[in-house]
Amino acid sequence: MSDRSVSTDLAAVLDALFDGQSPDLATLDGRSRALVERVQTLARDRRLLDEQLSLYFEHSGVGLFDHILDETRLAPGQPQTTYSAEMRRMLGYRDETDFPNEFSSFSNSLHPDDKERVEAAFAAHLMDKTDRTPFDIRYRLRRKTGEFIWVRALCGTRRDRDGNPLRACGSTFDIDTEKRRSDLLETLLERTRATLDDARSAVTVVESGVEQVQAIRQAVDAMADLSTQISQLTGEIQAIAKQTNLLALNATIEAARAGEAGRGFAVVAGEVKALAKNSHQMADRITDLVDQSVTTSKGAGKGASGVITAMDDIRTATETVKTALETLDREMSR
């Protein structure tokens, strides 16, 4: 068989193979048959790989995107940008008719407050020829309904030998629920921190109150001791008043015996008697006041003791709360 004939037969078999037919290899020589079998194996592997990639691209559960940056690598009719079905479903779209395979479909969906930041991050990733600038960013995309959802996108880039970007592929995750939960938790943490500050202030006030009540208790105890001493002095005053009154009585009797000569002495005796009476009355009044003071002091002392006991209990409880709050604050600060 001539080389021309072999070449013609091989070309016919390859055409049939590429058309999806099962060509007859009987007309080929051994070398050509081995070549065709190799091509068949490669075609089968390619078909399986395409099938696998198609399943990944359409049913991976995350939004996938593919941007071919070098237009010379595009096959005829191949779009420069491709989005997976999950990418469209995530944003509420049905197919390519309402979310075309164009980069503008993505850029036009960016939240106005995120657009500049995201595009700058993507450009920085592409322009870094060392490929050391990652693209891992959180931002908001507008759904078909007009509402925005939070997403997280990651991207990797294939480059040529000089580091120029050829193709960028990545994934987009819906993190809206997670982000809103995180924002809510942060708000709760801020409120809890404010509550912690209030609780610490309350603990400080309680500790100050305990110290003040203890000082009052000490003053009450000192007052009770002083009242006892005053009572003793008042008793001595009453004894002196009794003796003075007795002396005045004796002087009055002697003045009566002396008659006219003892009249001046009688006046003095009357004054002494009045002084004794007044001293006795004042002593009685002081005794009443001291008794009232002692009674009040004892009541205050008992009240202060009760308050101190209660405040001690409160301080113990607040110390426990303080420790728990400090532990919680440390956990929240991690």
Higher local confidence (pLDDT), 83 or 49: 83
Lowest mean pLDDT among 201-205, 221-225, 317-321: 317-321
Task: Examine the pLDDT at 1 and tell me if it is beyond 50.
Answer: no
The whole-number pLDDT of residue 187 equals 81
The answer to whether the predicted template modeling score (pTM) of the entire model surpasses 0.75 is: no
Residue type (1 letter), 187 = T
Higher local confidence (pLDDT), 334 or 136: 136
User: Alpha-carbon distance 174 to 146, whole Å?
Assistant: 16
The whole-number pLDDT of residue 137 equals 96
Task: Examine the pLDDT at 300 and tell me if it is beyond 60.
Answer: no
Lowest mean pLDDT among 10-24, 172-186, 286-300: 286-300
- Give the Cα-Cα-Cα angle 145, 68, 152 (nearest 5 degrees): 45
Ramachandran angles phi, psi of 92, nearest 5°: 85, 15
Share of the chain above pLDDT 90, in %: 29
β partners of residue 159: 165
Task: Examine the pLDDT at 123 and tell me if it is beyond 80.
Answer: yes
Task: Examine the pLDDT at 7 and tell me if it is beyond 70.
Answer: no
The whole-number pLDDT of residue 311 equals 59
pLDDT class for 46, splitting at 50, 70, 90?
confident
Task: Examine the pLDDT at 248 and tell me if it is beyond 90.
Answer: no
The whole-number pLDDT of residue 260 equals 63
Q: What distance, in Å, lies between the first and last C-alpha atoms of the chain? A: 81
The whole-number pLDDT of residue 67 equals 92
Average pLDDT over residues 210-229: 70
User: Alpha-carbon distance 250 to 246, whole Å?
Assistant: 6
User: Alpha-carbon distance 201 to 19, whole Å?
Assistant: 84
Mean pLDDT of the chain: 76
Task: Examine the pLDDT at 272 and tell me if it is beyond 80.
Answer: no
The whole-number pLDDT of residue 59 equals 66
pLDDT class for 153, splitting at 50, 70, 90?
very high
The CATH homologous superfamily to which domain 181-333 belongs is Methyl-accepting chemotaxis protein (1.10.287.950)
Residue 126's nearest CA partner among 70, 153, 164 is 164
Average pLDDT over residues 278-303: 63
The whole-number pLDDT of residue 159 equals 94
Share of the chain above pLDDT 70, in %: 53
Higher local confidence (pLDDT), 38 or 106: 106
pLDDT class for 157, splitting at 50, 70, 90?
very high
CATH code reported for the domain at 60-174: 3.30.450.20
Provide the CA 21 distance to its chain's centre, in angstroms: 66
